[in-house]
Amino acid sequence: MSGPDADPLSGADADDAPATAGGEAAAPDVEERLAATEDRLLRTLADLDNLRKRVARDMERERSEIRKAVLQDWLEVADNAERALAAFADRPDDPVYTGLGALAGQISDVLRRQGVERIGEIGEPFDPERHEAMGSMSDAGVPPGAVAAVLRPGYTLGGRLLRPAQVVVAGP
């Protein structure tokens, strides 16, 4: 089929394509527009994919920050339970001591199940990235530069520091 009714996209010769007002063939113009539209479509799809990935990263970061904040709040509860338990340490037969011990253990178990690990033990080397030095003492029974006393335990989550341990460091 040739002549004015021939389809320019059907593979007919350019000579058979209908002429435009300027005398040029319409098929090359349509092909250029199609290529430009396809290029815009591919760029838009790539932009959409990048947006999806960015939103997913942002949501994960936000979830992580919220989880971290909630766990840090629970660290204060754990500290208070341990302080209350220490207040009754001289009365181990007291039912309050027993109850506080159970509560402190339960809090510790919950934190452990969430991936929280306690740091700051007497005798371990002082690490300024994990410990906050609150003072020093000599003749502490531990080597110089080691943790001599733990004033407040520290915690990590997945290897990342949630809270540094407040410690006293043994001096020379």
Q: Which of 157, 152, 163, 168 is nearest to 130 (CA)?
A: 163
Q: Quick one: DSSP state of residue 2?
A: -
**pLDDT score recorded for residue 12:** 47
Cβ-count burial 95-124 (b if 16+ within 10 Å, e if not): eebeebbebbeebeeebeeeebebbbeeeb
Is the confidence at residue 4, as pLDDT, over 70? no
Residue 131: strand pairing partners: 165
Q: Quick one: DSSP state of residue 19?
A: B
**pLDDT score recorded for residue 25:** 57
Residues 92-96, mean pLDDT to the nearest whole number:
93
Higher-pLDDT residue of 73 and 141 is: 73
- Tens of pLDDT along 101-144? 999 999 999 999 999 999 999 999 999 999 999 999 987 688 89
pTM: 0.68
Mean pLDDT of the chain: 87
**pLDDT score recorded for residue 11:** 47
**pLDDT score recorded for residue 141:** 83
- Tens of pLDDT along 19-45? 555 545 567 899 999 999 999 999 999
Which pLDDT band, with edges at 50, 70 and 90, does 172 fall under?
A: confident
Structural domains in the chain, CATH included, are 118-172 (2.30.22.10)
